[in-house]
Amino acid sequence: MLQYRAALRDAVAGMNTVPLSQRLIRDAHRVLMQGVRGENKTPGEYRRVPNWIGKPGCEQAQAKFVPPGAGEIPDPMSSWEKYLHGDAPDRLVQLAVLHIEFEAIHPFLDGNGRLGRLLVPLFLVQRQLLSGPHCYISAYFEANRDEYYERLLAVSRDDDWTGWCEFFLRAIIKQAEANESKARAILELYREKKDWIATHTRSQHAVRALDWFFTRPVFQASELAKTSKIPTGTANRILREVRDAGMLTELRAASGRRPAILAFSELLNIAEGRAVL
């Protein structure tokens, strides 16, 4: 998850100077694969050997799907990129096609599924359908894993593009609904804590501190004073008081020069969609 976020962050920053493209996708793959499974499988480079999709250890003859050979990847990826930059009557249907075509080409030795899902928020930002990369459909795909793979295979097996697009659009709708629900919950939490922190700390910097907490649900204790423009003594007092009152959870105690790590657990639980702290 950390590498996914790092790859997403770097790719969004990269789109300020380079449009979503094969170049940016390869760069994102290089970041995505650092320190994870498949990191030794030529990250950032298209595969030079064949691969296939099927049960673990199966031979190519028993595979459910065999993508293009290694020597054939440049041409379909060029066509993919051309379609990526082309006009379309419906951008979400275009995205559905881009996702499945990327998975069908399977250009990398590993990480194609993760990168294909990363493509979704990047495309939505590129086309200005979202202001930020806040659409993660992985949860829906995982919850409907069998149907996801069946829909992918049905396109190549039965030419069932309609079934795939309907499935993909349902995923987008469910994610949009989940995002709206989280946004409303976060806004309600902010309203609740705004009055609470002002009353509890009696500091003119209380709301500024709260705004800062909402941008960093997990942080080092020393960061508040360094980056919030709140005087150090006041920042430390606010931290101590809201932590003792239970708003912040200490994940790691301070030790020597090593600062404590704190978490805004209520915000983190809303963002993750489950109780993590």
- 241 burial class (0-12, 13-18, 19+ CB within 10 angstroms)? middle
> Which residues is 262 bridged to in the sheet?
219, 250
What is the model's pLDDT at position 277? Answer: 83
Give 46's pLDDT tier (boundaries 50, 70, 90): very high
3-state class (DSSP) for residue 263: strand
Buried b (16+ CB within 10 A) or exposed e, 45-72: ebbeeebebeeeeeeeeeeeeebbeeee
Give 41's pLDDT tier (boundaries 50, 70, 90): confident
Q: How far apart are CA 194 and CA 189, in angstroms?
A: 8
Q: How far apart are CA 15 and CA 38, in angstroms?
A: 25
Q: Which two tokens stand for residue 116?
A: 């294909």
Q: Residues near 170 by Cβ (< 8 Å), separated by ≥ 6?
A: 140
Find out whether 263 and 252 touch, Cβ atoms under 8 Å: no
Find out whether 132 and 118 touch, Cβ atoms under 8 Å: no
pTM of the model: 0.84
Helix (H) or strand (E) holding 219: strand 218-220
Mean pLDDT of all residues in the chain?
Answer: 93
Q: How far apart are CA 56 and CA 117, in angstroms?
A: 22
Answer yes or no: is pLDDT of 141 > 80.
Answer: yes
Q: Which long-range contacts (CB under 8 A, 24 or more apart) does 6-12 make?
A: 6/31, 6/32, 6/34, 7/31, 7/32, 7/115, 7/118, 8/118, 8/121, 8/122, 8/133, 11/118, 11/122, 12/122, 12/125, 12/132, 12/133
Answer yes or no: is pLDDT of 134 > 90.
Answer: no
Domains of the chain (ranges, CATH numbers): 2-133 (1.10.3290.10), 184-272 (1.10.10.10)
The residue whose two tokens read 């942080």 is 219
Find out whether 218 and 268 touch, Cβ atoms under 8 Å: yes
Q: Which two tokens stand for residue 162?
A: 């309609």
Q: Which residue has the higher pLDDT, 224 or 3?
A: 224
Give 38's pLDDT tier (boundaries 50, 70, 90): low
Measured in whole angstroms, the distance separating CA 82 from the mean position of its chain's CA atoms is: 25
- The residue among 206, 196, 180 whose CA lies nearest residue 246 is 196
3-state class (DSSP) for residue 180: helix
Give 59's pLDDT tier (boundaries 50, 70, 90): confident
CA angle 102, 103, 107 (to 5 degrees): 70
Answer yes or no: is pLDDT of 198 > 90.
Answer: yes
